[in-house]
Structure 1
Amino acid sequence: MKKTALLFSLFLLLSSCSTTNKIGSAENALNGKWNWVSSSGGFIGKTITPASENKKTILEISNSTIKKYENGNLIFESKYAIKEEPSIYGNERKMILFENDMPKQSFEVKDNKLYLSEECNDCYQSEYVRLK
């Protein structure tokens, strides 16, 4: 009887894991403020940084909105959703889909770093570090 109860509990636990939970956890991982470190790409594979561009860029991400600040000024704000879709970089990836006409971006959060990849040819991949 104990084995049956344990197996049933394990089944319930495993069946509660789904794509929706993965998407929800991806949204939670994005939440917070992110400081721009660098971007590279474009036609010539150029790398740009806050020093080379003479600007400080911060992303502020909540469960439904992304705000972008440059040198303390709000320059972009959009509602967004996260969805897994085929990527131009291969396989399915979690994507940030903006409500306006911005290109979608695949993303990955590792430790305290956020990597954003614009899903278009000759576009940029950017690295951010989480602000505490």
Structure 2
Amino acid sequence: MKRVLILFFLTVLGCTSDEPRHLVVGEWRWISSTGGIGGWTIKPRNDNERTLRLTADGKFEVYANRALLLSAEYRLSNRKSGSDRAQELILAVNNGILHQRDTLDNYPLFGGGRIRELSDAKLEFVEDFCNDCYSHSFVRK
């Protein structure tokens, strides 16, 4: 019986992950987006909360007032940037499914990009795959 208990505990302990969860994982409340040809700033109205949810298993979801707008897969990677060749973190989003049309005019659905700022409290990334792209700012929920 003692051996069975020891094997059980070793199995349970062996299945737990010591890998730290990446800082990007969690729920983020959208506070603003800036960009476009005119350099516009778009913010949510009081009755229109937007949430970006990033899971540890690579799910990327955008919600409007708890209704799912967009679901996709994401992947984090590093790449060398510009002339200084410094490493930058990239949030790549693929296989997106639009579940419903957004009700906020000119609201940019987040498509991933280069992460400019990431902390316990704030996430900011810029879509760097086009001209006049938007940068998106979030705070952790």
TM-score between both structures, scaled by the size of structure 2: 0.64
Q: Which residue of 1 aligns with 2:4?
A: none
Given that 2:23 and 2:120 are in contact with CA atoms closer than 8 Å, whether structure 1 keeps it comes out as: no
Flag the 1:77–1:87 CA change in 2: closer, same or farther, 3 A: farther
Deviation of the 1:110 alpha carbon: 2.8
Deviation of the 1:51 alpha carbon: 2.1
**Matched letter for residue 94 of structure 1:** L
Matches within 5 A, 1:67-78: 67-78=61-72
State the distance in 2 between where 1:113 and 1:104 align: 15
Deviation of the 1:116 alpha carbon: 1.5
Q: Which runs of 5+ in 1 are unaligned?
A: 1-23
**Two-structure CA RMSD over aligned residues (Å):** 2.5
Q: Which residue, out of 35, 51, 57, partners 2:29?
A: 35
**Matched letter for residue 50 of structure 2:** T
Q: Which residue of 1 aligns with 2:123?
A: 114
| Count of equivalent residues | 105
Deviation of the 1:87 alpha carbon: 4.9
Q: Which residue of 1 aligns with 2:41?
A: 47
Q: Which residue, out of 50, 72, 77, partners 1:57?
A: 50
State the distance in 2 between where 1:59 and 1:103 align: 11
State the distance in 1 between where 2:42 and 2:67 align: 20
